[in-house]
Each structure stands twice: as C-alpha cells, then as structure tokens.
Structure 1
Amino acid sequence: MSLADADADATPRTRPGPARADGAGRAEGSARPEGPARGRPRSEAVEHAIVEGVMKLLEDGVPLADVSIERVARTAGVGKATIYRRWSGKEELFVEVMRAAEPDDLRLPGTSVRDDLVALLENLRRRGLASRSSALLHNVYVQMKCSPKVWSAYHENVVAPRRALGLAVLRRGQASGEIRADIDPSLALDMFVGPMLVRSVLERDADLPEGLSERIVDNVLTGLAPTGRAGES
C-alpha cells in the first residue's frame, strides 16, 4: 500500500488554531457536529513523509519560494489532497517543518518562577545550538524572513505562544512577590531572553555553554527582586 493509499479515506480534520500558551503543541479542532469521525485514523507515516519531503527539497537547494504543494506531493509520494487535508497551504506546512526541526515543545517544571524561567531560556539555548549544527535549519530561518507570510505564520504559531508563556510566568512571580510589582512584564521578559538571543542569533560564534540559562536568570532576577530580597538564594 502506498502512502497516498494509506490516507485516501482519512477524515479531513478541522484546522487547529494558534499553539497553546503552555507550549505543549497546537490544540485539536472541535468534534464534528454530525457525530463521531469516520474512516481510518490519519497515518503518521504520511505526515512524516510530507515533512521529510519539504526537508529534502530544501536540502537540495530549492528556494522556499519555489517549494510548491505540487512539488512536495511528488517528492513525498502522496497526492495534493493528502497534504491539504492537513495543512491549508504551504505557509502552514513550512511552520510544521520548522517545528519538526526544532527541539521538543517547551514544558515548564512549575516548581518556581526561577525554574520556569531557566526552562524558557534553556529551550532558546538548545534551539541556538540546533541552528548552528544544522545548515538546513539556519538557511530556512533566513529564507523565512524573506517571506512575510511564512514569517508571520511562524511568529503567530511558535514565537507568540512562547512569549505568552514567559509573560504568564513573570506575572505569576509578581503575584507571589518574587518579582517587583512595578516591573513591566514585557520589558522584563526581554531582559531575560535578550542575552540568549544575542548569543544564539546575532553572535554566531558566541559560546552557549551548559549553565548559561541559570546564570542569566539569576543575574536578572537579582535586579527584579523586591527590596530586601535581592541576593537571596
């Protein structure tokens, strides 16, 4: 059975909305009103083949603008309808490819504001290391920024939810008294992620050692702690 046959009668799924703020992935669409879905479950092998098809085209040097749904379908060995059952267009598909190329979705420990902030920065550090070790990932980032629609979709589905997650952590810290109440959470988040982004994106040869996330968080938290708590362990 071919990949196209394996998915031929799969029920089209409702397109998901933006990724959840908890970083655990995109929410599934609501159930169909007429009753339970019919047909075979959609094949993970088919989805993998489609994502790998895009990766292969990019590895072969095909510019992002020239990667059409038709071309992906031929490379992956599936029909165009199989792709459109999963993604409304190539912009959404490219975002999925970027998700697959990055480290696993972010999950916060929830033990303390400090631990959650360290987890946020550690995710950025690992993404920076992945980008440096993968010419494909680096080139896709560069090409995405030349495509406003793709970059906008990536920002909406990947960047914005992660930022919302960081803001929620900081607001929780303000509510618990771990962070000064007069601090702008948006500006404070920039103070945490800024140093890591500079090292991982702007300074391509900057060191990204183990423990860097903890060092950044501890230094910034010292300045954001309420009076009398700075320097506490």
Structure 2
Amino acid sequence: MSLAGSQASPATAGRGRPRSEAVERSIVEGVMKLLEEGVPLADLSIERIARTAGVGKATIYRRWSGKEELFVDVVRMAEPPDPELPGTSLRDDLVAILEQLRRRGLMTRSSALLHSVYAQMKSSPKIWAAYHATVVERRRRMQIEVLRRGQRNGELRADVDVELLNDIFVGPMLLRTVLRPEADLLEGLPEQIVDTLLEGLRPVSSR
C-alpha cells in the first residue's frame, strides 16, 4: 500500500527530536507487512513490529507511546490526503470534500487489507477513539468551517445549523461507502449531492 502523500504524523510532531522519515516508513511498512500476512491486531506486539521493521523497540517508543498510537498512524497514512480546497466558492469546497470521501470509499472497497484494518480498528474502543480524535474530528472541524464561511459570504442561509448540515452533506457518501457497498461511487456524485442540497439552502436572493 502506497504511503505517498501522507501528512506529518500528529503522534510524532513536536517532540524535540530530529525525525527520520526512512525509519518511520520502515516501521509503518513493518506493521503493514504483518497485517498483510494475516496477523491480528491483538498479536501485533511492539517487539514483533520492531523485529519485522529491523529496528529496536526503543526506536518505536521514541515515536509512538504504544501500538495503538502506531496503528492509528498506519491507518491515517493509508488514507487519501486531506483535500485541497479551491476556496473559490462554497460549492467548489464542498465538492472537493466529497470527492475525497468518494476516493476513500473506492480505496476501501478495492483493498481487502484496508477493509480488514478498519474492521479491527473499530473492534478496539481505544484505537477507534484515538483515530476519531486525530482524523475524524479534525476533518469535521474543517468541513464545518467551510459551511460557516459560506454563511458569512452569503452563499448559505444563515438560519441553518451547520453541525447538522455537515452530516447531511457527507451522509450520502458515507452511506454508500459503509452501509451500501454495492452502490456506485461514480465520478460526478459529489457534484450531484452538493448541487441537489444547495438548491434549497441558498439565501432566497441568491437563487
């Protein structure tokens, strides 16, 4: 699985030590190798990961406090990068956000390994909570800010609840990814969702 385009790890940033991208990559790839071999998450000890990656256990602990934090980074790095928002309009930014979700859904469908990884992660409350805090919540804050900016710019009605509205926008894509894996994730779906919803959410004077 390619790790290209992955962002700086929240778990490894700001610890006052020089980073070695090569070492971190070898550790992450060591975890992926074990998962590809069918090793359950519960059996992924730091010692086993270190042996597979060809590093010492101390090298891992200098970067991650435990295997849960390491595993969250592995999953995060396997995801598509955060979308680059055009910033030209509310519509364009929302389309970019949903396109990233569409591609993530396609990746999960095409990778049996990713599907297994997410399933294992959800079975561990500690890992799921860490993933939710470092990935899901961060992206949700970005999405809500896009909606608030749309309200400030007069592109979106001021009387709508942006927290609820965010769920309404991303809901159809997540529904097709998680609950309806047989449903198509075709190109153009983000535009279709955004245009359908914005039709009833723009201020009256903007329609």
- 1:133-171: per-residue Cα shift (whole Å, max 9, x none)? 111101111111100000000000000000000000000
2:42 matches 1:65 = yes
The amino acid of 1:189's aligned partner reads N
Question: Alignment partner for residue 77 of structure 1, among 54, 63, 67?
Answer: 54
- TM-fit CA distance, 1:185: 0.2
Give 1:2-41 correspondences, 5 Å limit.
28-29=13-14, 41=18
List runs of 5+ in structure 2 lacking aligned partners: 1-5
Tell me if the contact between 1:199 and 1:206 (Cα under 8 Å) persists in the aligned partners.
yes
Aligned match of 1:19: none
2: CA distance between counterparts of 1:188 and 1:222? 14
Aligned match of 1:16: none
Tell me if the contact between 1:24 and 1:107 (Cα under 8 Å) persists in the aligned partners.
no
1: CA distance between counterparts of 2:194 and 2:126? 33
1: CA distance between counterparts of 2:30 and 2:82? 22
Higher CA-based Rg: 1
Aligned match of 2:185: 208
Tell me if the contact between 1:179 and 1:224 (Cα under 8 Å) persists in the aligned partners.
yes
1: CA distance between counterparts of 2:34 and 2:201? 47
Under a length normalisation based on structure 2, what TM-score does the superposition of the two structures give?
0.91
1: CA distance between counterparts of 2:7 and 2:120? 26
1: CA distance between counterparts of 2:130 and 2:148? 26
Question: Alignment partner for residue 154 of structure 1, among 131, 137, 150?
Answer: 131
- TM-fit CA distance, 1:24: 6.4
2:166 matches 1:181 = no
Q: Which has the higher helix share?
A: 2
For residues 171 and 95 of structure 1, do their structure 2 counterparts lie closer, same or farther at Cα, with a shift above 3 Å needed? same
Identity among equivalent pairs (%): 68
- TM-fit CA distance, 1:25: 5.1
- TM-fit CA distance, 1:229: 2.8
Tell me if the contact between 2:9 and 2:73 (Cα under 8 Å) persists in the aligned partners.
no
1: CA distance between counterparts of 2:8 and 2:170? 21
Tell me if the contact between 2:7 and 2:77 (Cα under 8 Å) persists in the aligned partners.
no
- TM-fit CA distance, 1:59: 0.9
Aligned match of 1:225: 202
Aligned match of 1:170: 147
Aligned match of 1:51: 28
List runs of 5+ in structure 1 lacking aligned partners: 1-22
Count, aligned residues = 200
2:119 matches 1:134 = no
- TM-fit CA distance, 1:106: 2.5
The amino acid of 2:161's aligned partner reads D
2:170 matches 1:193 = yes
Under a length normalisation based on structure 1, what TM-score does the superposition of the two structures give?
0.81
